[in-house]
Amino acid sequence: MEVTGQSKAPPTEDVVVFSILNPSTCSECRAELSKGDFLRMEKEKPLCLDCADLGHLVYLPRGDTALTRRSRKYSALSAVVVRFSRSRRRYERQGVLVEPAALDRAEKECLSDEERRRAARARAALDRERADMQYVAQFAEQIRSRYPGCPPREAGEIARHACEKYSGRVGRSARAKLFDAPAIELAVQAHVRHRHTEYDRLLAQGCDRSEARAAVARPVAKVMERWSKA
């Protein structure tokens, strides 16, 4: 009589199959095995996979850990393939032999995992993009409330530029500082300097940055004063 819990076979060691270096012959069917063929030793007798009743298994080379782990999990019978390394003087694992259905199932699972990860990445990117767009709109609104004379298109441009600078680099709280009055003023000032004065041309001519800023300070202030009125 079987005792519950002990009817299952005890955990056994892996079935080992050799990827051979030297030609051999199956002791049962006399099939010739050449270098690279798989061979199973049974009671010191070499057997081809068919005679060892492992012929229905498929070979999965090592390399994909998750796939290997899952394939073995779903395979009622599996074997480990080893080959002797002459240089390192030891047997090294080459891969596993598993049931084709197990490999199929494992492959499907690994694939859907990858798809799930890809979808999650795409969702996260979209969320970030949405948050950024909302942020840009809010920032543009802030600009327009402080500088009602600033053309809406330019307010949008300034906001996009300011937000791009911080996009994905700093957290929400740090970005909130962008909404500070000085930060808005600086962003508008930089835009006016580049867009409405000779600043860039002066820089291109090799003019020192602080000199160039001083040279355009008045025109910049004029534009900003004009924009601050509706």
For Zn ion, the binding residues (CB under 5 A) are 26, 28-29, 31, 48, 51
Nearer to Zn ion, 33 or 67 (CB): 33
Task: Report the nearest approach of Zn ion to the CB of residue 102 (Å).
Answer: 24
Closest CA to 185 of 213, 154, 150, 146: 146
Shortest distance, CB of residue 19 to Zn ion, whole angstroms?
16
Report the nearest approach of Zn ion to the CB of residue 127 (Å): 59
Mapping DSSP onto H, E and C, the string for the chain reads: CCCCCCCCCCCCCCEEEEECCCCEECCCCCCEECCCCEEEEECCEEECCCCCCCCCCEEEECCCHHHHHHHHHHCCCCEEEEEEECCCCEEEEEEEEECHHHHHHHHHHHHHHHHHHHHHHHHHHHHHHHHHHHHHHHHHHHHHHHCCCCCHHHHHHHHHHHHHHHCCCCCHHHHHHHHCHHHHHHHHHHHHHHHHCCHHHHHHCCCCHHHHHHHHHHHHHHHHHHHCCC
Q: Output 26 or 188, the one with its CB closest to Zn ion.
A: 26
Q: For Zn ion, which is the closer residue by CB, 81 or 162?
A: 81
Q: Which is nearer to Zn ion, 32 or 115 (CB)?
A: 32
Specify whether the CB–CB gap between 17 and 37 falls below 8 A: no
Beta carbon of residue 6, minimum distance to Zn ion (angstroms, whole number): 35
Report in angstroms how near the CB of residue 35 gets to Zn ion at its nearest.
Answer: 17
> Which lies closer to Zn ion via its Cβ, residue 48 or residue 163?
48
Interatomic CA distance for residues 169 and 100, integer angstroms = 47
* Total residues belonging to the chain: 230
CB of 29 to Zn ion, least distance (A): 3
Kindly state the smallest distance separating residue 49's Cβ from Zn ion, in Å: 8
Q: Which CB, 28 or 132, lies closer to Zn ion?
A: 28
Q: How far apart are the first and last CA of the chain?
A: 96
Residue closer to Zn ion (CB basis): 77 or 131: 77
